[in-house]
Amino acid sequence: MRRDTNRTRVFTRRALILGGIEALALGGLAAKLYQVQVADGKRYALLAESNRVSARLLAPPRGRLLDRTGTPVAGNRMNWRAVLVAEQTDDVQGTLARFSDLIPLSDHERARIDRELLHSRRFIPIILRDFLEWDEMALIEVNAPDLPGILIDAGTTRLYPFGATLAHVVGYVAPPSEDEAEDEPVLALPGMRVGRAAVEKYHDLALRGRAGLVQVEVNAVGRVIRELAREEGVPGAEITLTIDSGLQQDVTATLADESASAVVLDARNGEVLAMATTPSFDPSLFNSGVTQAQWNEWTKNRQTPLINKAVAGLYAPGSTFKMVVAMAGLTARTITPNERIFCPGYLDLGDTRFHCWSRYGHGALDLRGGLKNSCDVFFYEVARRTGIDAIAAMANRFGLGVRPAIELPEARAGLVPTRAWRERHGHHWNPGDTVVHGIGQGFLEIAPVQLATMVARIATGRAVEPHLTRSVNGTLTPGADPGFWPALDVPAPYLHAAREGMWAVVNEQGGTAPLARLDLPGVQLAGKTGSTQVRHVSREAREHGHFNSESLPWEFRPHALFVAFAPYDAPRYALAVVVEHGNAGAQRAAPLARAIMTDVLLRDPANRSASPVPPSPVRAEAATPAAMVQTR
């Protein structure tokens, strides 16, 4: 009996222990279920929904670029392309081979396609060939049964109606690099382009717009089952430029076959009305892909058609720099407007003789006469008295040696040297260096757009900056208002002295630029010639008159320059013309400037601006399978 009682007690204890363990286990399980279903239920439901619903991007249309009158200078047109969806064919390489028999693919294209096949999901479309011609598209459609997985997709491509005429201003777009597409999912969309130069590059983010979003139901492997929701993208901004496309065409035609550049500014507010560089290139070629043969042709051309000479071409300014030297001397009080300096045809400094362009000299000249006759000796002496640092400071004040605040990434600051700059390069500044900089030679490097800015500031007395953006989505930029630009920190009498000298250059008997004189009733132009050497001329050749630049090979001839503003009595337009290796500014650049300024004054583009209005709403194109990419 006692033994049975002990067994019962042992069993009861074991039962209690087991029951307790089961109770604890059940309690833990219940707590876990509560945690999963109640406390974390919403989180897991969201994760499950994310696994079923995929968000994908919709490509936005790229914004248009318009000229100041509302004429499109960069837009979009319909483009057809062939795409491959790998999951829709059992033999990808066989399909590609059959496609290549119809539409030949280069080794470069095949390599790109193979890379994308390796790194992309099988349901993501891959572009085989962009910019299909109608007969190519028809050929693919006829052979569709033999090309499983290959589809014709509609998209847009960039259109440049003015081609080479505005290439250096508008720029161009090109496909994004693999690294760019990796960093920004929207760039992986078929047909997306990135601005690579000029305004297209500067305003690239605004022109891209904002991608739309579509929510689709997908299966376990990511294949689309149905569309659940859609939010259309926002088209890129519509940007109105300051350029007048009609004037731009005429300026380009005036430069013709020269290797040259010309910049026309509204002198009151710095708006760029025309900026021409010749020769030029077709920007649409970058959109579809430049051939090696075309690239070789461009890069081997000694007239450098790919370079925007107006902002990236750097030249010694020559005698166009003399107004800056004059105002530096006036400000430093090393000269006065009426002081006369004698020119015997040369200036001796130590054992070095610096020649005037006139072998026989100009006699005694005041500042007006020095500018009118472009006397080198006069400005040698002014520079010697004033010093390079004071000249450099004045040059900077007029926009020289400072990168212009223009919407062209290619723009360069150039160089206006100082003593400190020379010492940083391990050399001492010599008095002779100062003298040669007095006539715009030496180490000076100036872009044509900077020369136009200099003239606009002389003409108006305002610190205008050249700019190309007039409005964004119909809203005028602040710089369009002349009152936005502050007064230049130069006394008005000194500006007046420079303007008078420029007027005499063109309009007085004996001035160096009679070929620039306007043939318009009651309108006068003020200007300054310039010629800059690109190679050393020996002392013997100068003294004996043996030097004849016309006989030199083209690349050794001096550059020809001319700067101007008009009308003289109410300055409105500023102009700079540079003809590479054009010899003399008075003979080569001045007539071109006269023709351009005549056209400008007759057109009066500053008064031809279209009233800014908001752009019409543009509905983003509906997404097709080829216009989707999964977000990260």
How many angstroms separate the CA atoms of 579 and 593, rounded?
11
Q: What is the dihedral of CA 246, 527, 432, 335, to 10 degrees?
A: -140
Using an 8 Å Cβ cutoff, are 578 and 455 in contact?
no
- How many C-beta atoms surround the C-beta of residue 608 within 10 A? 14
Of the listed 280, 319, 374, 609, which one is catalytic?
A: 319
**Both tokens assigned to 381:** 């002496």
Nearest to 349 by CA among 429, 427, 436: 436
CA 567 – CA 522 distance, rounded (Å): 9
Told to judge if 261 belongs to the known catalytic residues of this protein, a careful annotator would answer no
CA atoms within 13 A on the CB side of 138: 3
Q: Are 325 and 494 in contact (CB under 8 A)?
A: no
What is the separation of C-alpha 277 from the centre of its chain, rounded to a whole number of angstroms?
Answer: 14
Q: Are 619 and 232 contacting, i.e. CB atoms less than 8 angstroms apart?
A: yes
What DSSP assignment string belongs to 11-79? HHHHHHHHHHHHHHHHHHHHHHHHIIIIISHHHHHHHHHHHHEEEEEEPPPPPPEE-TTS-EEEEEEEE
Please provide the DSSP assignment of 322-348 as one string: HHHHHHHHHHHTS--TT--EEESSEEE
> Which of 609, 618, 617, 613 shows the shortest CA–CA distance to 241?
609
Q: How far apart are CA 92 and CA 90, in angstroms?
A: 6
Tokens for 242, please give them: 């300051």
**CB-based contact 449:328 (threshold 8 Å):** no
The structure tokens listed for 455 are: 């003239």
What 8-state DSSP symbol labels residue 194?
A: E
Q: Which residues are catalytic?
A: 319
